[in-house]
Amino acid sequence: MEPLTIRRQTESREARLHARACRSSRSKGRERDEEPCPVRTDFQRDVDRITHSKAFRRLMYKTQVFLCPEGDHYRTRLTHALEVSRIARTVARGLGLNEDLTEAIALGHDLGHAPFGHAGERALNEVVPGGFEHNTHSRRVVERLERGGTGWNLCLETRDGIECHTGPRTAMTLEGQIVQIADRVAYVNHDMDDAVRAGLLTEHTLPGEIRDTLGHSYAARIGTLVQDAVRTSLQTVESPEPSIALSPPAAAAMDRLREFMFERVYLNPAAKSEEVKAVSMIQRLFEHYAASPDHLPPELKMFVERDGLERAAADFVAGMTDRYALETAQQLFLPHGWEKR
């Protein structure tokens, strides 16, 4: 019998979680068996692997909404992931679900985002055979690209939650469902906050019915939605088909807020004036590497043999930060002066 360890003590405390919580000791496991850690549970281990990954560090320089913003206080993909994680953990704690699994999914959910946010995703989706979606690519990052192509060997529940944070499929765990809601709660609210910072909106621009339902400030709206998710889900997790949900009034108000953001921010020329250029640049980069495999970094050559040239080119371009994509495009596509010899 395995000796008592710190990990075993943590797993025993998980027995006090809600009956519908996903316990690390009952995980469906990893693709490859590993020796258990004496200190960390499997889900804690997933959190650490994601946090220490190169893909996670690159999120610091990937667009959330505003391309190349002037100022240090706009969100990036990294700060977005951190805000989703905090919202999701609060909901998980309120419901007695597994915070470690929730955190792992939240921190990893956007690892596959292309440079320049959804503009980059749309650009690759138009030219990559089979399409490109950031959620499925996020799973590919942790399964097949990180750690020299072997992946981080994360638990199935973590990988499933990362892929299902958006799209038609529902996550297999309640913790994954929490991240689905926390992602939307985070981005519609912090994107509104950034739009106010950019001078595109003011607090009073927001329709009155949204403010009356959700609150009259950024912090108030986050608090309202988090508390509503906990109150509503305390009932829905007990149903024969347990789920994480917002109440109908809160869900309708958040949907209206999302529609408002599309109307005034996401499709606003002031915020998106450079997107056409970004889309063209990302597609040119993909086409260049798909036609010139020798220009790919040496460490990606094995991906060409394993997955094909076009997928390897998509992997390389999708992994770029905004600034690296700009620097690479400038080097490849713009003329340079002659160097003195």
269 Cβ neighbours under 8 A, 6+ residues apart = none
CATH class of domain segment(s) 38-331:
mainly alpha
DSSP string covering 241-272, please? Answer: S------HHHHHHHHHHHHHHIIIIIT-HHHH
217 Cβ neighbours under 8 A, 6+ residues apart = 203
Would you report the helix, strand and coil content of the chain in percent, each value rounded to 5? 65, 0, 35
327 Cβ neighbours under 8 A, 6+ residues apart = none
Cα–Cα separations (whole angstroms), residue 85 to 105, 109, 110, 260: 8, 10, 12, 25
**Burial of residue 96, with CB atoms counted within 10 A of its CB: 0-12 exposed, 13-18 middle, 19 or more buried:** middle
| 3-state SS, residue 76 | strand
Give the count of beta carbons closer than 10 Å to the beta carbon of residue 272: 16
Boundaries of every domain in the chain = 38-331
Angle 40-34-4 from CA coordinates, rounded to 5°: 45
Query: What is the separation of C-alpha 42 from the centre of its chain, rounded to a whole number of angstroms?
Result: 21
pLDDT at 3: 67
Which residue type does 131 have? G
Among candidate residues 118, 112, 167, the one with its CA nearest the CA of residue 134: 112
Give the count of beta carbons closer than 10 Å to the beta carbon of residue 261: 21
What are the residues facing 63 on neighbouring strands? 76
**Measured distance CA(84)–CA(101) in Å, rounded:** 13
The answer to whether residues 116 and 65 touch, using CB atoms and an 8 Å cutoff, is no
pLDDT at 339: 67
pLDDT at 69: 72
| 3-state SS, residue 308 | coil
Note down pLDDT in tens along the chain; length 341 residues: 566 699 999 999 999 999 999 999 999 999 999 999 999 999 999 999 999 999 999 999 998 887 777 778 999 999 999 999 999 999 999 999 999 999 999 999 999 999 999 999 999 999 999 999 999 999 999 999 999 999 999 999 999 999 999 999 999 999 999 999 999 999 999 999 999 998 989 999 999 999 999 999 999 999 999 999 999 999 999 999 999 999 999 999 999 999 999 999 988 876 667 888 999 999 999 999 999 999 999 989 889 999 999 999 999 999 999 999 999 999 999 887 776 66
pLDDT at 71: 77
DSSP state for residue 145 in the 8-state scheme: I
